Structure 1
């Protein structure tokens, strides 16, 4: 059972090692408090409570507010924070993702859980809706059949029962100036394109938003092949263009940019890296049994003419897409350790770097939960750039130029 101290430590966003340094105690002593072997003094608990409630550092406010739905660990939140936005509402159902989110976005506001249970009027007014919504199957039937049955058609029927419906109902109720939706690239091809057609028709034809869609690969900013569809919508006509994106050439970044150098040039971090040289802990090296299984699995599929198998990378490579299943065997991204040595998984810190997060990003959860969270997250630099080019058009809608205002009043 979690002790009061362990719960507070998670709320601070600190690892046991970080908290030990903050409090001036040994890491071993912190673990004793975590497990309940001994009880900390009141002064220690008061200090940890203070750390847990430390307010977020203010960011420059550009003049727009946004809400963060299906927020995960806050990757999209980070991008729009950096564009000068102010988050006024967050929804995320997973309790472990909530811990990581709160550890890194300390605005002392409660995170709403299941968005399907939140009434639209309980969501504050906002200028931009941001959502990395999960894609669930859409059932599409002919409008004529629905009319014959006396049933409603349009998004209120065709998307009912999907999480996209909750995005649509919030947009319909609040009419934000803009939205940004993120999903896997294959959303466009799901169910032979029918799913995406429902989404397009809902946003563009039914809700009346100007739509801009593009697939962007994180390889512009990270040594990871990660393609995601980005759907941007504006309530009013704009001069928005994807041509304004400033994307570095793909492939400039390599794995050496995110891997632990293991040469003493960075400080050891918790159980990720150890010793004076901050070498990656052996716990991340694959066992002989697992490595033999993955090689056998790859050989079997190679013989059958399939492309399934592990992805082995070195410092000069780029890697496959990090997925939420990475915790199972790490097979999609294995780091070579040289001849005669089994490869290893990425550490959670390396996963954070792969997603474009700084080393100051706090990881207060287990490795298993961290792998799931980073695999489900977005590549932050991609969406920081999208937020940058969206912002002036949002501000134009919120505060139209003087010439436009004069025309409206004429």
Structure 2
């Protein structure tokens, strides 16, 4: 069976790539203009702009909702006021004005069979844990979904230490298990290009600055500074700021030559994008896009498990409560 899915906060389509074997994307949304260029070049579809400017009812019907959304703190001022007045409140009050609010509105209006949300590992501790607490409450108690969550490190599939939290939800309380990702994966050397232009080599001025910066912080007992990569292991996490100086992942070169940045194609490989993925923007924009993206192979494994659960999974029930649904969280 093929499923309709929507791709929210789509970036350059890393999550979409993982779900395309299982159906058709019927709606995508991304506000960044350069990311939209890359998305359109690869999927022949220009994403809708600001998700806040479209009503949930206008979104096409779909079975699967996908979203790699930014996390924001929730203001509880309105909730406190309503509590003091003895008035009821719901998720509209708790998440109003945040990007998660738009996801919640769409889930409520369209009732997809399942969803996948992706975020940084620190979502759990963001705003002293309040952000995550409200998100789980909305998804489980207010919207009635069975939610599973897990932090997964991509380094067993791509040569990069990249921990992200994934939330999988089912409208019907289906049993679900996250995939087991290997602890160790391919070496960084496996994604490097054979010939790289000299423009990716750090200038003497920048290399000198990075070395002095690291030395200064080392003397203070801090670990800040550049990361000279071990080609036989995995790299640090690729970030959206990589275009600034490349400091978190520097590739060592032959003796007497300064280290270099990764090329945009190597960044694509580091995130597990296919070789035919088109890079149509400037290097600066490409670094930002791949730094903000997902590790595609991880999402591919999750997608396979989600589809299996939807088609073959068992409904979770609480045997102690005569068939009452048990909303289980892992």
Normalised by the length of structure 2, the TM-score is 0.91
- SS of 1:353 mapped into structure 2: helix
- The answer for unaligned runs of 5 or more in structure 2 is 314-330
CA root-mean-square deviation: 1.6
Matched residue, 1:247 = 181
1:95 shift after superposition: 1.2
* 8 Å Cα contact 2:69/2:119 also seen in 1: yes
Q: Write the distance in 2 (CA, Å) between the matches of 1:134 and 1:335.
A: 29
Out of 71, 78, 85, which is 2:10 matched to? Answer: 71
1:145 shift after superposition: 3.6
- SS of 1:327 mapped into structure 2: helix
Matched residue, 1:130 = 66
Q: Write the distance in 1 (CA, Å) between the matches of 2:168 and 2:68.
A: 12
Q: Write the distance in 2 (CA, Å) between the matches of 1:308 and 1:201.
A: 37
Out of 217, 238, 242, which is 1:322 matched to? Answer: 238
Is structure 2 residue 23 aligned with structure 1 residue 91?
no
* 8 Å Cα contact 1:104/1:361 also seen in 2: yes
Matched residue, 1:364 = 280
Task: For 1:249-398, list aligned pairs within 5 A.
Answer: 250-260=183-193, 262=194, 279-395=195-311
Out of 121, 141, 149, which is 2:57 matched to? Answer: 121
- The answer for unaligned runs of 5 or more in structure 1 is 1-61, 263-278, 398-410
Q: Write the distance in 2 (CA, Å) between the matches of 1:366 and 1:349.
A: 12
Task: For 1:31-42, list aligned pairs within 5 A.
Answer: none
* 8 Å Cα contact 1:63/1:395 also seen in 2: no
Write the deviation string for residues 352-371 of structure 1: whole angstroms up to 9, x where unpaired: 00000121110000000000
Distance change in 2, residues 1:144/1:101 (3 Å): closer
Matched residue, 1:176 = 112
* 8 Å Cα contact 2:37/2:46 also seen in 1: no
Is structure 2 residue 81 aligned with structure 1 residue 154?
no
* 8 Å Cα contact 2:121/2:151 also seen in 1: yes
Q: Write the distance in 2 (CA, Å) between the matches of 1:125 and 1:220.
A: 35
Is structure 2 residue 124 aligned with structure 1 residue 200?
no
1:137 shift after superposition: 1.5
Write the deviation string for residues 290-342 of structure 1: whole angstroms up to 9, x where unpaired: 00000000001111011101010142131110000000000000000132210
Q: Write the distance in 1 (CA, Å) between the matches of 2:34 and 2:158.
A: 25
Matched residue, 1:81 = 20
* 8 Å Cα contact 2:121/2:165 also seen in 1: yes
Q: Which is worse superposed, 159-168 or 386-395?
A: 386-395
Q: Write the distance in 2 (CA, Å) between the matches of 1:291 and 1:327.
A: 15
Q: How many residues align?
A: 313
Q: Which is worse superposed, 138-147 or 210-219?
A: 138-147
1:205 shift after superposition: 0.6
* 8 Å Cα contact 1:68/1:87 also seen in 2: yes
- SS of 1:360 mapped into structure 2: coil
1:89 shift after superposition: 0.3
* 8 Å Cα contact 2:78/2:93 also seen in 1: no
1:152 shift after superposition: 5.8
Write the deviation string for residues 136-174 of structure 1: whole angstroms up to 9, x where unpaired: 121235856423347662210111011000000000110
Matched residue, 1:38 = none
Normalised by the length of structure 1, the TM-score is 0.74
- SS of 2:169 mapped into structure 1: strand
Point out the structure with max Rg over C-alpha. Answer: 1
- SS of 2:118 mapped into structure 1: strand
Q: Write the distance in 1 (CA, Å) between the matches of 2:236 and 2:279.
A: 23
1:80 shift after superposition: 0.6
